[in-house]
A and B are shown apart, each in its own frame.
Chain A
Amino acid sequence: MRPAALAVRGVRKRHGDVTALDGVELEIAPGEVLALLGPNGAGKTTLVSIVAGLLRADAGRVRVAGHDIERDAHGARLRLGLAPQELGVYPTLSVRENLRFHGELAGLRRAELQRRVAEVAEALALAPLLGRPARTLSGGEARRLHTGMSVMGRPALLLLDEPTAGADVEMRAQLLALVRKLAADGAGVCYSTHYLHEVEQLGASVAILDAGRIVARGALAALLARYGRARLELVKPSLESVVLDVTGRRCSPERDGAGDARA
């Protein structure tokens, strides 16, 4: 049996007096797309940073495809792809050189590397742009390159932190298609986002993080059924309303703008 793409056990992290993560337990199966939701300051970026090995947890364990991020950091990172929230590309290098570099870091060489560059460029509609310096790309094109760099090594776990921020409709569709394909190929995907309709489009399972704790976890339909049922009959619950409910941030049904469909 393949190990979980991600297994987080009892992870705690404090930033000074602030508890960022308070005993987080989370698992992502191979092939699963998990939407990590929660309000700003809930601890999403801290959790992603710890899973990526960029931050050290105060307590707890993180395993990526069976490899402990502390004890076997190299093994874990070989199986991990990260696309942080902020764009990180080499502006003076071409799209091809940016992709190649991350392929080389992932251990790809020669023909295999060329093949992978072509695959990723094709999947993200970057093929016509391969020779262009990254600094000349539009925001959406740069975002696609940024994401493409993270999948060069065919990671067992892909961490995408708000990958469609600022993206247009077409690019968003391309990214979601890529995520679905990666999951179909067996990768676990941790998808942190504020665009809740994307979660529904992906058919992702959901984990809701609030004040450093996972307060809800499960399949989208199950969460909607569980937390949406108590709502007025004339309101069709949306995932946004579920997030607001379980995190206790709903102000009032009339003012919260949670996107519920009202009859």
Chain B
Amino acid sequence: MLARSCAIARNDLRVVRRDAFPFVLLVAVPLVGMVFMKPAFRPTLRAEGLVHANGAEQAVPGMLVTCGFLLVSYVGYGFFREHAWRTWERLRASPATTTEILLGKALGSLALATAQFVLVFGLGSVAMGLHVHGSWGAVVLVGAAFALFVVAAGLAVTAVCRTVMQANTIAYLGTLLLACLGGALVPVTLLPGWARAIAPAAPTWWAMRGYRSAIVGGGGRVPGAVAVLLGCALALALVAVWRMRLEEPRQGFA
């Protein structure tokens, strides 16, 4: 089963490689964002008691969480472009089962999420002076759980949308809303009261909580954050499996 799923994932990645601009956007936007966000976050973090903070502790994971959610639209695009290119029915008529197709599409997107994580954290460390005082292992753990959540969200959004524009609209709206609520763009302490009250309902809030715990030390909040992210991923994956009808026509373009 894994062989066909890997073949589908490799095929998707070949397509991305032929036109790398969308992936460049996934990496370039957070890198540019960090440059502007880092100095803005420094005083807030120091006011919270992190006296040696330089702002990268919030800017790097914050921009990764914000732009990581953009992957939702890339997951959708992996399906919708097959409809636009009329390769979808061929894929469905192939020996690949429904599970293999969904797994293959998910694996391709997970590979993109991994590359995004490595590049953003790598360049964030080198260029932004990010120092992980806690544990890189914990950072990777949170990153993996967040990637699974994002890919599952992408599958669920694809399952309920009929056009690529519908999927993009949900993805972009979700990106902004969840980034704000999660404290990825603005520290939670600066949010209005009503937003602070509902922030824990956003998976991104847990991702930021996990990253922060892993980066600034302690790491005590990492297991809880990972558990919540994995729970959300599981719930969204179930929605995707429940609602996904591979035989339903989808428009590759709006």
Q: Which residues of A contact B (CB under 8 A)?
A: 52-56, 73-74, 77-78, 80, 82, 84, 86-93, 97, 101-102, 104-107, 109, 133, 149-150, 153
The one of B19, B94, B247 in contact with A105, judged by C-beta atoms closer than 8 angstroms, is B94
Give the number of residue pairs across the A-B interface with Cβ within 8 Å: 73
Are B15 and A90 within 8 A (Cβ)? Answer: yes
Known contacts A55-B247, A77-B95, A106-B95; A88 and B15 CB within 8 A of each other: no
Complex Cα gap A150–B90 (Å):
8
Are A101 and B86 within 8 A (Cβ)? Answer: no
The one of B7, B11, B90 in contact with A84, judged by C-beta atoms closer than 8 angstroms, is B90
The one of A53, A87, A93 in contact with B15, judged by C-beta atoms closer than 8 angstroms, is A93
Complex Cα gap A224–B12 (Å):
49
A78 contact set on B, CB distance < 8 A: 95
Complex Cα gap A97–B95 (Å):
18
A52 contact set on B, CB distance < 8 A: 89, 93
B18 contact set on A, CB distance < 8 A: 92-93, 133
Total chain B interface residues with beta-carbon distance under 8 A: 24
Are B15 and A80 within 8 A (Cβ)? Answer: no
Complex Cα gap A72–B69 (Å):
38
Known contacts A90-B15, A97-B14; A82 and B93 CB within 8 A of each other: yes
B92 contact set on A, CB distance < 8 A: 53-54
Complex Cα gap A183–B79 (Å):
34
A-B contacts, 25 listed (Cβ < 8 Å)? A53-B92, A54-B93, A73-B97, A74-B97, A77-B93, A77-B95, A82-B90, A86-B86, A88-B88, A90-B15, A90-B85, A92-B15, A92-B18, A93-B14, A93-B15, A102-B94, A104-B7, A104-B10, A105-B4, A105-B8, A105-B91, A105-B94, A105-B96, A107-B95, A149-B90
Are B85 and A88 within 8 A (Cβ)? Answer: yes
Of the listed residues B19, B87, B88, B93, the one surrounded by the most CB atoms of chain A closer than 10 A to its CB is B93
Are B4 and A84 within 8 A (Cβ)? Answer: no
Given contacts A101-B11, A153-B95, 10 further A-B contacts (CB under 8 A): A52-B93, A53-B93, A74-B97, A77-B94, A86-B86, A88-B88, A104-B4, A105-B91, A106-B94, A106-B95
B87 contact set on A, CB distance < 8 A: 88-90
Q: Which residues of B contact A (CB under 8 A)?
A: 3-4, 7-8, 10-11, 14-15, 18-19, 85-97, 247
Min Cβ gap A143→B in Å is: 13
Complex Cα gap A105–B3 (Å):
8
B3 contact set on A, CB distance < 8 A: 104, 107, 109
Complex Cα gap A77–B91 (Å):
11
Min Cβ gap A99→B in Å is: 12
Min Cβ gap A98→B in Å is: 9
Are B95 and A90 within 8 A (Cβ)? Answer: no
**Least CB separation from B246: chain A residue:** A54
A80 contact set on B, CB distance < 8 A: 93
**Least CB separation from A149: chain B residue:** B90
Min Cβ gap B16→A in Å is: 9
A89 contact set on B, CB distance < 8 A: 85, 87
Are A91 and B93 within 8 A (Cβ)? Answer: no
Min Cβ gap A91→B in Å is: 6
Of the listed residues B10, B94, B96, B97, the one surrounded by the most CB atoms of chain A closer than 10 A to its CB is B94
Complex Cα gap A87–B85 (Å):
8
Min Cβ gap B222→A in Å is: 38
A88 contact set on B, CB distance < 8 A: 85-90
Complex Cα gap A82–B95 (Å):
11
The 5 A-B residue pairs with the shortest CB-CB distance in the complex, in nearest-first order: A104-B7, A88-B86, A92-B18, A82-B93, A52-B93
